[in-house]
Amino acid sequence: MTMAIDLKGGAAPATLNERLLKRHDRRERTALSLLTAPGALLILVVLILPIGWLFWLSFFDASGEPTLANYARMLRPVYVKTFISTFQVAGLVTAACVLLGYPVAYLLSQLSERTAGILMIFVILPFWTSVLVRTYAWLVILQRTGLINTWLTGAGIIEEPMPLVHNLLGTVIGMVHVMLPFLILPLYASMRAIDPVLMRAAANCGATPAQAFRQVFLPLSLPGLAAGIGLVFVLCLGFFVTPALLGGGRVAMWAMQIADNIAVYGNWGAASALGVVLLAVTALILVVLRRIFKVDTFGGAR
Amino acid sequence: MRSKVAIQKISKAYGAFIALDDVSLDINPGEFLTLLGPSGSGKTTLLNVLAGFVRPDSGSVTVDGTEFLTLPPHRRNLGMVFQNYALFPHMSVRSNVGYPLRLRGVPKAELDRRAGEALDLVQMGHLADRGVHELSGGQRQRVALARAIVFEPSMLLMDEPLSALDKKLREHMQLELKRLHQRLGTTTVYVTHDQREALTLSDRIALINGGKVVQLGTPDEIYDRPRNKFVADFIGETRFLPVEPGASGPLLYGRALKTRDGAAGRNEKSWLVVRPERLRWRGGDDDGSNRIDAEATDVIYQGDSYLITVRLPDGAEIDLRRSPDMAGGRLPDRGEGIRLWLAPEHTILVTDHA
C-alpha cells in the first residue's frame, strides 16, 4: 500500500500542471464555441422558430380549433393534381436545364480561366436582374403579339400566332431562364476540378475522345450535376412568380396553392400544412439524391 | 515489346518560343533512354510529341517503320506514366489497371487475370480492390506503372514519374524501375531533371537544352566526356576553374595541366572540370602539374565522414568528404592552405560551346 502511494508520488512530474492545462483547454474551447453564437442565434430566430411556428399553425383550422383537416384536405383530387403538376413542371425544367446547362458548363470548363471568367458573366448576368422583370420580358417576347409571333407571321412562316405563353411551354421557358445559373455554377465548379491530364491518360490507355468523355469525364462530373439538379428541382417546387405570370392560370403549382389559401381564403392553417408538406418532400428528395449519387457515382466502375 | 523509334528533325514553336529545335534521335529496341534537361528545355514537349499530345510543326517520328505523327494518341499503343500519376479517381485500383484492356475488348476473366498479374509485378496485388484515394504516393506510382504496362505497349513513356516522392522512396523506386525494365525489356523513354536518376536508370541519356539535344551517350560518356561546359555543369557537383592556352599545353593559374588526352592543349580559353570525388589530397608529379591551391574553410564531423569545405582559387567553395579512419595524414585545420591534385585521367577540359 505504501509502495503504491510512493509510486504515485514518483509519477508526479507526469501530471505536472495537468489540471491547469485542462482548464485552459476547456476555457479556450468555450471561447471558440461562443464565436458561433451570433450565427446560431440568427438561424434559430429566422429559420427554426418560423418553421416550428408554421408546423404548429398547420394543426389548427381557420377558427383556431385543433384539427388534422388541413392535412386530410391534401388528399382531395385538386390538391393531388397540383402536387403532381408541380413535380412535372419541376422535372421538365430540371431536364431542360441539364440539357442546356451541361454543354455550357463543359465549354466553360475547357476554356482558359480568363476566357471562362468573361463568358461566366453572361451566365451570372440574369442574377442581377429581378425575376419579375425577366418574367415580364418573356411575356413581351412570347405573347400573341410578341416579338417571335410578330416576326414569324410577318415573315410569312406561320399564319396564326403560336401559343407560346400562358401555358406550360411559356412557364417552362421562363423558369429555365431563371434556373439555368443554379445548374451551371455547381456543375462548372466540379468540372474545373477534374484534372485535364486524366483525359490524356484515358487517351493513352486507348480511349477515343467519346469513350474518354463517357467513361472518365462524365462520371467525374456527376457530383456537380447532382448538386445542380437538386438545387434546381427544389427551387422549382417552391417557385411562384414565373408560373403565376407565364402560366396563365393553366399551370397549377404548389406555391400558388399556398398563396391562394392565404390571399383568397385567409386560411393560415391550410397554407402552413402545404408549406410543411413541401418542406418534407424537398428534404426527402435531397436525401434520395444524395444516396443515389454517393452510391452510384463512385461505384460505377465496380 | 521492343520497338525501334526514329525521331527525325522535330521542331515545335510556341509563338516566339522554340520548344524543340530540329531534334533528331534514334532509340534502340529495348533501350532505356532518358531525356534529361532543366525545366523549359523541351524534354517534356518531346515526350508529348511521342505520346501524341503535342503536334510538332515539322519532322517525323517512326516506330518500327510506321509514321506516328498522324496517329491520334489513343491509337499509338503507348504506355505512359504521368507526373502526378493521373489515376482515375472514380475507379478502383483493379479497374484503373484493367481500363486499357477493357478498351481493347478483352473478356472479363482475362482482364482480371492480366490486371492482377500487372499489379503483382509492381507488388500491388493485395490492394487491387482499394480505391485510388486510399493509396499513398508510392502506391499510386506503382498502380500508374501497372496501368502503363498491362497492355504490353510498344513503348513506355515516363514523365518525371518519381518527382512527387520523397528522396528515400524515390531511390527505392529507381531500382525497381530498373529491375522492371530489365525484366520486360520494353523500349522506354524517361523524362527527368534529376541527373542522378538519369545516371542510375539509363542505357543512354539525351541531355536536352534550349530545344536541342546537347549530348547523347551512355551515363559514363556523359559524365566523363562532357561535350561542353553546360553538360559538365548539369551532371555532377561541378565547379569550373579557368584554363589558359599555353605554349606547351593548357595552364591553370600558370601551372601545367596534364589531361587524359595527353598534354595536348586547346588553343582557346577553356574550363577545368572540378568534381569533389575526383580531387586527391596527395599525389602527382614533382613538377607541380595538376595541382590546385585551396583553403579549408570548414571541417565538420558527420559520423560516417568528415565534410571539409574547401575554397578554390576563384573563390568558389566545394565540399569534400574524408572517411574518419582514412589512412594518410591528419585533417587540415580551418583556414589551412592545402594543395589538391587531379589525376590526368580525371582532368577534363571543356569549352563554353561544343
8 Å CB contact between B150 and B101 = yes
SS3 (DSSP) at B14: strand
Along the 354 residues of chain B, how does pLDDT read in single tens digits?
678 899 999 999 999 999 999 999 999 999 999 999 999 899 999 999 999 999 999 999 999 888 999 999 999 999 999 998 999 999 999 999 999 999 999 999 999 999 999 999 888 999 999 999 999 988 999 999 999 999 999 999 999 999 888 888 889 889 989 999 999 999 999 999 999 999 999 999 999 999 999 999 999 999 999 988 999 999 988 888 888 887 777 878 778 788 877 544 566 778 888 888 888 877 667 777 788 888 889 888 888 888 889 888 888 888 888 877 765 567 788 888 888 888 888 888 888 876
Sign of CA dihedral B52, B58, B63, B69: positive
Cell representation of residue B293:
591551391
Q: What is the mean pLDDT of residues A41-65?
A: 89
Chain B residues closer than 8 Å to A302 by CB: 92, 95
User: Which residue of chain B comes nearest to A198, CA vs CA?
Assistant: B86
Cβ atoms < 10 Å from Cβ of B222:
28
User: A297 pLDDT exceeds 50?
Assistant: no
Bridge partner list, B273: B240
Query: Is B131 in contact with A204 (Cβ distance < 8 A)?
Result: no
List the one residue out of B231, B239, B207, B224 whose CA is nearest residue B313: B239
How far away is chain A from the Cα of B201, in angstroms, using its nearest Cα? Answer: 23
- Cα separation, A130 vs A243, in Å, equals 15
Q: Where are the alpha helices (DSSP H) in chain B?
A: 43-51, 93-103, 108-121, 137-149, 167-184, 195-201, 219-224, 229-234
A-chain residues near B88 (CB < 8 A): 198, 201-202, 216, 301
Name, in order, each residue with C-beta under 8 angstroms of B206's C-beta and a sequence gap of 6 or more.
Answer: B25, B33, B34, B35, B36, B213, B215, B216
Residues 6+ apart with CB under 8 A from A108: A116, A119, A120, A123, A184, A188, A191
| pLDDT at residue A3 tops 50 | no
Residue A68 reports pLDDT greater than 80:
yes
Interchain proximity A204–B51, CB inside 8 Å: yes
pLDDT at A300: 34
Instruction: Supply the DSSP string of B213-228, one letter for each residue.
Output: EEEEE-HHHHHHS-SS
Q: A179-200 pLDDT, tens per residue?
A: 999 999 999 999 999 999 999 9
If pLDDT is split at 50, 70 and 90, which confidence band does A4 have? very low
pLDDT, mean of residues A62-74: 84
Which is nearest to B336 in space by CA: B305, B309, B307? B309
Name the nearest CA neighbour of B82 among B96, B62, B67: B96
Chain B: residue whose CA lies nearest to A294: B90
Q: Which amino acid is at A25?
A: D
* Residue of A199, A204, A293 for testing the chain B interface, max B β-carbons within 10 Å: A204
**What pLDDT does residue B290 have?**
81
Domains and CATH numbers, chain B: 5-229 (3.40.50.300), 237-350 (2.40.50.140)
Count of alpha carbons within 13 angstroms of residue A246, beta-carbon side: 33
CATH for A66-299? 1.10.3720.10
Is pLDDT at A298 greater than 70 in this prediction?
A: no
Q: Mind listing the pLDDT tens digit for each residue in A140-170?
A: 999 888 889 889 988 888 888 888 888 999 9
Choose from A195, A199, A205 for mutation: most chain B CBs within 10 A. A205
Q: Three cell numbers at B155?
A: 513503348
DSSP codes, A270-300? HHHHHHHHHHHHHHHHHHHHHHHHHHHHHHT
Strand order in the sheet with B306-311: B279-280, B337-342, B291-301, B306-311, B317-322
Å from A217 to nearest chain B CA?
10
What average pLDDT does chain A have? 87
The pLDDT-based confidence of A14 (bands split at 50, 70, 90) is low
In angstroms, rounded to a whole number, what is the distance separating the alpha carbons of residues A151 and A164? Answer: 14
The count of other CB atoms within 10 Å of the CB of residue B332 is 20
Query: CA B314, CA B254: separation in Å to the nearest integer?
Result: 14
Point out which residues pair with B207 in neighbouring strands. B36, B215
Please report, to the nearest 10 degrees, the dihedral formed by the alpha carbons of residues A15, A17, A18, A21 taken in order: -160
Sign for the pseudo-dihedral over CA of A9, A13, A17, A18: negative
- Are B80 and A201 a contacting pair at CB < 8 A? yes
Burial tier of B233 (Cβ tally within 10 Å: 0-12, 13-18, 19+): middle
Cβ neighbours of A201 in B, within 8 Å = 80, 82, 86-88
For A229, other C-beta atoms within 10 Å of its C-beta total: 23
The closest CB to that of B88, out of A198, A211, A302, belongs to A198
Q: Which three cell numbers stand for residue A34?
A: 461562443
Q: Please answer yes or no on whether B84 and A197 come within 8 Å at the CB atom.
A: yes
d(CA B199, CA B220): 8
Residue A299: which pLDDT band, with cuts at 50, 70 and 90? Answer: very low
> Strands (DSSP E) along chain B, which ranges?
5-14, 17-27, 32-36, 58-63, 66-67, 78-81, 155-159, 188-192, 204-209, 212-217, 239-245, 250-252, 255-256, 270-274, 279-280, 291-301, 306-311, 317-322, 337-342, 349-350
Q: How far apart are CA A13 and CA A49, in angstroms?
A: 52
The residues on B that touch A, with CB distances below 8 Å, are 51-53, 72-75, 77-80, 82, 84, 86-92, 95, 99-100, 103-104, 131, 147-148, 151
The side-by-side arrangement of strands in the sheet containing B212-217 is: B78-81, B155-159, B188-192, B32-36, B204-209, B212-217
Residues 6+ apart with CB under 8 A from A238: A254, A255, A278, A282
Instruction: Name the residue type at position B35.
Output: L
The pTM (predicted TM-score) of the whole model is 0.80
Q: Which of B270, B189, B186 has the alpha carbon at shortest distance from B6?
A: B189
- Tell if the CB–CB gap between A211 and B89 is shorter than 8 Å: no
Q: Which of A169-178, A278-287, B326-335 is most confident?
A: A169-178
